């Protein structure tokens, strides 16, 4: 067991590299992809992995840095782990300007259905479940979801008028 652990550690150490930034360095910020959410103008595979560049204004610890974020991202906590940052090498073609983010002050977000696109039945071992394909507001057509018929009728009766 010890031999296997040391072998795996040597593989991991070979790939690991120390990453350090100085105050004033420009860095890209990694954007976590979220399925079905359109951020910065693109969806899916084409969404940017990094945005920025933002200057480092303070080193908190060995692996934590505070960035100077623009006004559009003022609601985002400005301290990031070093794994979320990438050194910026000056090139004007790298600049990706984030679109303005509209956030409500109380921050609830409730999905609103627009219409029912399709109906079908799912056959299980001993019963049949009626399903409906619901198209949601602020989503693309390919993001429509199948919901149980009774759940849809209870929550959104206005779709069945």
Tens digits of per-residue pLDDT, 133-160?
Answer: 999 888 888 889 999 988 888 888 888 7
Q: Which domains are delineated in the chain?
A: 2-94 (no CATH), 113-160 (2.40.50)
The predicted structure's pLDDT at residue 44: 66
The predicted structure's pLDDT at residue 40: 60
The predicted structure's pLDDT at residue 79: 93
Lowest mean pLDDT among 76-80, 90-94, 152-156: 90-94
128-136 sheet: strands from edge to edge: 113-123, 128-136, 145-148
The predicted structure's pLDDT at residue 112: 85
Tens digits of per-residue pLDDT, 10-64?
Answer: 887 777 777 889 999 999 888 876 655 555 666 667 777 888 789 999 999 888 9
Using an 8 Å Cβ cutoff, are 96 and 88 in contact?
Answer: no
The predicted structure's pLDDT at residue 37: 58
Question: What is the longest distance spanned by two Cα atoms in the chain?
Answer: 68
In this structure, how many other beta carbons lie within 10 angstroms of the beta carbon of residue 52?
24
Residues in contact with 135: Cβ distance below 8 Å, sequence separation at least 6, in sequence order: 113, 114, 115, 116, 117, 141, 144
CA 36/CA 125 separation, integer angstroms: 32
Whether this prediction's pTM lies above 0.85 is answered by no
Round the CA-based radius of gyration of the chain to a whole number and report it. 23
């Amino acid at each position: 067991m010890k031999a296997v652990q040391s072998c795996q550690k040597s593989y991991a150490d070979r790939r690991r590299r120390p990453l350090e930034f100085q105050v004033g360095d420009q860095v890209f910020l990694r954007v976590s992809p979220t399925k079905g959410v359109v951020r910065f103008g693109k969806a899916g595979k084409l969404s940017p992995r990094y945005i920025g560049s933002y200057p480092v204004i303070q080193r908190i610890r060995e692996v934590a840095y505070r960035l100077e974020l623009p006004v559009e991202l003022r609601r985002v906590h400005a301290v990031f782990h070093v794994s979320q940052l990438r050194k910026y090498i000056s090139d004007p073609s790298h600049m990706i300007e984030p679109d303005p983010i509209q956030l409500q002050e109380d921050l609830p977000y409730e999905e609103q259905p627009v219409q029912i696109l399709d109906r079908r039945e799912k056959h299980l071992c001993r019963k049949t479940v009626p399903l409906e394909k619901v198209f949601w507001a602020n989503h693309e057509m390919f993001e429509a979801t199948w919901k149980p018929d009774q759940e849809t009728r209870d929550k959104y009766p206005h779709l069945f008028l």
